[in-house]
Each structure stands twice: as structure tokens, then as C-alpha cells.
Amino acid sequence: MKKVLIITYYWPPAGGIGVLRCLKIAKYLRSFGYEPVIYTVKNPSYPFEDQSNFKDIPENIEVIRGAVVEFEAVFKKLIRRQKQSVNNIVFGPEKQNWFVKLAMWVRANYFIPDAKSRWIKPSVKILSKYLEENKIDAIFSDGPPHTNTVIACEIAKKFGIPWLSDYQDPWTQVDYYSKFPLSKKADKKQKALEQEAFKYADKIVSASPSFSAGLEDIGAKNTDVLYYGYDEDDFKDLVPVPDKEFTLVHAGILAGDRYPENLVKVVGELIKKKESFRQHFRLKLMGSVEETTLNKIKEFIPEENLILTGHVSRERVLQELINSHILLILVNKENSKGRIPGKLYEYFRAQRPILLIGDMEGDAAELINITNSGTCFEYEEADKLKIQLDQMFTNFENGVDSYTGGNFEQFSNFNQTKKVADWLDTILNERT
């Protein structure tokens, strides 16, 4: 069986959606003739953990670990001392004090490509020693953090190993890149590293068609799309128990860059004008909610109509998804055409109607249309949102299911991993 080195910062016990990209690929690669070897961090600074992810690690898999001095961990401790939130420092609406601004400037200009950059040199050293003693047929890296991409580039360049480079998010084209206080020198270095990665990668894939097109626009070659996907195994033991109340569920982090002002106002109006709606409607927010955003929501939606779960296990999240009446997807308001939230695929598999708010010409909206899984609106379309929500509530009162979707099986992790194996086969054959 051919061996593929997977370079990833995120690995169990990491929680959240980011860890699942490499974890699910590693889980299914053996089915297509590849043995994964994982390189990850020894002392990570994960924002939260989920022990349930350990179940997806293939039995007897080889895991190599390298230590790192975490700028982010130190930064968070200092921010807490400053009595300022560590969540969404880049996107958050709260005013940044002088210390936060200084820390962000240091991070942007001395930690390139990202806050994990001090992991690059020790990782190259560890992997170089490993590769001198062990045969690896191909490399798969996943960024961000694009520290992973730089490590993979250095190894591919040094040892001439075929490299499949994956971009969950773009590098210098990502929506938050322009928000960093980069000097011209730092920006130039970021772009030089990006171009070097394009040069040495045998194939480049990203999480959406628009992301891949954008990468091609700045010089990437041989690009394709690797969708995030869902894992059928995660759903096989779940039994839907429909919520008794009319639940609109959002899973994941909710911050100011995705605050759905008009949706919140529409819900508030329906609660005031329609007694049955007030009695039965529940907005269920599963995950962390930025404080300022939550306060804005509470201005219009009474607390008795809100359910805040905080961070919970994936198993509970998935159960709540299949129990819900509507699943809410909020796409970033800026530079969002290529943004497909990873949870969208689990929404597909939950087989509940989806309400997307964001770019109706974006890739996420396109997938919802392809699968006929829901309806899409721009953030400004308050009247249309109100009509749609009112109609779905009427269906709820009449016992009518609003879901009409299907054709989502192509997005399973198993099928997406097959694509990875096919690409690996191709780049290996091109080298022989």
C-alpha cells in the first residue's frame, strides 16, 4: 500500500469543523490503496476539543508529532489580562485597545504566514530525519494554517516527493487577509511564499469552485475542487425526533461578520404580531456567540424564544440538526462568493430544509439549488425572509414537512476521499 504523508495542525482532540478535513480523509484513504501517515503538533493550542473525534482515527495509524511555541496561546493569555474578548479579534465589532492593536501588528508582520509559523523549522527538521529513514510516496497538506502549506512545500522541494496541496481557505485571497495590519514587506513575503507553493505543488485543490478559480487567477496550476463533505458513519445511529417547537437552528460560531439583522428583526415582528409564533418559535444557537452579536439578537428576540447551548459534542449537534425544523446558514458578508461553510454538507445529510442568508450567486447557494435543499436570500431581503419564514411556520402548524431535497450523496467523505486518491494516483503516475 502506498504511503501518503498528511501534514495538518488540527488533529484529535481538536474540536470544531476544521479538524474534520484531514481526519475524514485519513479515515477512508485505506479503502483506496493509501496508508496515511500523520504529521501534527505535539502541544497544540486548540480553541476547543472534542474527544469523540478519536473514534475516526484509523487503527494502528502512524502519527508523528512536533512541538511548537504558540504565539496564539500567549496572545490569548495576555488579552484575557486586558479584559478583552479573545474571540473574533479580527472580525469582532468591539473597539481594540492599544495592546491588541500592537499584538495584531506583531502577529501580522513577524509571524508569517500565520501564528503557527514557529512550527515550520522544527517540523522540516523532524520530517527530514523521518524521510531519510522511511519511504513516503506522496504528501497531502491542508491549510490554513498555511504553516502546513509551507512545511509541505519545503519537504516536497527537498525530497522531490509528489505533493497534493489543499486550501480549505485561500491564502492571500482569504476574506480576512486585508484586515491584518500588514507592512508592504510582510505582504510581499506572504505572496512570495504563496507563489513558491504554487510552483512546487503537483496539484492544488480548494473547498469551492470560486476559491479554485481565484487561485488560478494568481498563478496556481492544475486546480480542482475538494468539497468538505459529511460522514455517513456520523449519522447511521441517529434517529430523528422532531422538535415539538418550531426550531430554527444555527450550528457554529456566530459573530458580527454574519449577524443577520433583517432575519432577527423579522422574527421579532412575527413574535409580536402572531401569538402562536411567539409560543412555538425557538432560535437555537449551537456554538459560541460573540457577545455584541448576542446582545443585538436579544434586542428583538425575547430570551424565552432563544436557546443557547454553547459548545457541545458533534454527536449532539448532529442529533439537533436532524430534529430541527429549519437549518440556518449565514455566509460572510464580504468576499463570500467562494465561501461554503463546512457544516452545509452535514445540513444536507440531516435532510432538513435550509435557510441560507448570503450571496445568492455564491457557491453555497449554488449547492443548495443543486440539491434542492432550501431557499436562499440576501441579507437585505427582509420582506422575502418574512414571507418564507411565515410559510414554513404554517407548514409546521399543519404538520407538513418543508423538506424537498436530495442528490447530496456525492458530498460524502467517502466519495470525496476517492477523489483525493484519484488525484494522488495521477500525480504519482505523472512522475513515473
DSSP bridge pairs for 225: 206
Model confidence over 301-358: pLDDT tens digits?
999 999 999 988 889 999 999 999 999 999 988 778 999 999 999 999 999 999 999 9
Cβ neighbours for 35, distance < 8 A, ≥ 6 positions apart: 1, 2, 3, 4, 29
Contact, 152 vs 165, CB < 8 A?
yes
Beta strands in 124-280 (DSSP E): 138-143, 163-167, 203-206, 223-225, 246-251
pLDDT of residue 17: 87
Contact, 239 vs 330, CB < 8 A?
no
Q: DSSP string spanning 8-54?
A: -S--TTB-SSTTHHHHHHHHHHGGGTEEEEEEEESS---S-B-GGGG
CA 77/CA 64 separation, integer angstroms: 28
Contact, 79 vs 89, CB < 8 A?
yes
Topology given in CATH for the domain delimited by 2-68+114-229+413-431: Rossmann fold (3.40.50)
CA 415/CA 170 separation, integer angstroms: 23
CATH class of 233-410: alpha beta
Measure Cα distances from 259 to 92, 96, 203, 333, 363 in Å: 11, 19, 36, 9, 20
Residue limits of CATH 3.40.50.2000 in the chain:
2-68+114-229+413-431, 233-410
pLDDT of residue 93: 46
Measure Cα distances from 208 to 171, 271, 331, 355 in Å: 14, 37, 13, 20
User: Biggest alpha carbon distance in the chain?
Assistant: 71
Could you tell me the end-to-end alpha-carbon distance of the chain, in angstroms, rounded to an integer? Answer: 17
Q: Which residues of the chain register pLDDT less than 50?
A: 81-93
How would you class 370 by CB atoms within 10 Å of its CB: exposed for 0-12, middle for 13-18, buried for 19 or more? middle
pLDDT of residue 87: 42
Half-sphere exposure of residue 300: CA atoms within 13 angstroms, side-chain side: 17
pLDDT of residue 176: 86
How would you class 119 by CB atoms within 10 Å of its CB: exposed for 0-12, middle for 13-18, buried for 19 or more? buried
Contact, 43 vs 70, CB < 8 A?
yes
pTM above 0.75, yes or no: yes
How would you class 398 by CB atoms within 10 Å of its CB: exposed for 0-12, middle for 13-18, buried for 19 or more? exposed
Contact, 381 vs 261, CB < 8 A?
no
- Bin 282: left if φ > 0, else alpha if -120 < ψ < 50, else beta: beta
pLDDT of residue 402: 92
DSSP bridge pairs for 143: 167
Give the single-character DSSP code of 394: H
pLDDT of residue 84: 42
How would you class 140 by CB atoms within 10 Å of its CB: exposed for 0-12, middle for 13-18, buried for 19 or more? buried
Counting every residue, how long is the chain?
432
Model confidence over 247-283: pLDDT tens digits?
999 999 998 889 999 999 999 999 999 999 999 999 9
- Other CB atoms within 10 A of residue 44 CB: 20
